[in-house]
Chain A
Amino acid sequence: MSDQMYREVILDHYKNPRGHGVIEDADAEAEGFNPLCGDEVSIYVSFAEDGETIEDVKFSGRGCAISQAATSMLVDMAKGRKATDLAQMPKDELLEEIGIPLTPIRLKCALLGLGVLKVALHRAKGTPLPQEWAGLDELELK
Chain B
Amino acid sequence: MAVTARPKLDAQKQRADFPIFNELIHGKPLSFLDSAASSQKPRQVLDAMQHFYETSYANVHRGVYELAERATAGYEGARETVGRFLNAPSPREVVFTRNATEAINVVAYAWGLNNLGPGDVVLVTELEHHSNFVPWQYIAHRTGADFRMLPLDDEGGLRLDALDELAGAGRVKVVAAGMVSNSLGSVNPVEKLAAWAHERGAIMVCDAAQGAPHRVVDVQALGADFVAVTAHKLCGPSGIGALWGRMELLEAMEPFNLGGHMISRVTFEDTSWGEVPAKFEAGTQAIAEAVGFGAAIDYITEVGLDAIEQHEHELAGYGLDRLAELPWVKTYGPPTDRRAGIISFNVDGIHPHDVAQILDGEGVAIRAGHHCCQPLMAKLGVAATNRASFYLYTVTEEIDRLVAGLHKVRKILS
Contact = CB atoms under 8 A, between A and B. Distances in A.
Nearest to A38: B383
Interface in B377-403: 377, 382-384
A1 interface: yes
B357 A37 contact: no
A1 B362 CA distance: 9
A2 to B, nearest CB: 3
B304 interface: no
Interface string A97-123: 000000001100100000000000000
Given A2-B360, A38-B383, A38-B384, 9 more contacts: A2-B358, A2-B359, A2-B412, A6-B358, A35-B370, A39-B383, A64-B351, A65-B354, A105-B353
A109 B351 CA distance: 12
Contact of B361 (A1, A11, A64, A65): A1
Contacts of A1: 26, 357, 360-361
A63 B412 contact: no
Interface string A63-89: 111100000000000000000000000
11 contacts: A1-B357, A2-B360, A37-B352, A38-B377, A39-B351, A64-B352, A64-B353, A65-B351, A66-B354, A105-B353, A106-B357
A36 B356 CA distance: 14
B369 interface: yes
Interface string A1-24: 111011000010010000000000
Interface in B311-361: 350-354, 357-361
B262 interface: no
Contact of A37 (B359, B383, B413): B383
B26 A66 contact: no
B353 A106 contact: yes
Interface of B: 26, 350-354, 357-362, 368-370, 374, 377, 382-384, 412-413
A63 B351 contact: yes
A38 B346 CA distance: 14
The B interface, classified by DSSP as helix, strand, loop or mixed, is helix
Contact of B412 (A6, A64, A66, A106): A6
Ranked 4 nearest A-B pairs via Cβ: A38-B383, A2-B361, A64-B351, A64-B353
Could you say which interface size class chain A belongs to? Answer: 10 to 19
Contacts of A105: 353
A105 B368 CA distance: 11
A35 to B, nearest CB: 8
Contacts of A6: 354, 357-358, 412-413
B339 to A, nearest CB: 24
A39 B351 CA distance: 9
A37 B358 contact: no
Contacts of B351: 37, 39, 63-65
A37 B384 contact: yes
Given A106-B357, A109-B353, A65 B413 contact: yes
A37 B360 contact: no
Contact of A11 (B360, B374, B413): B413
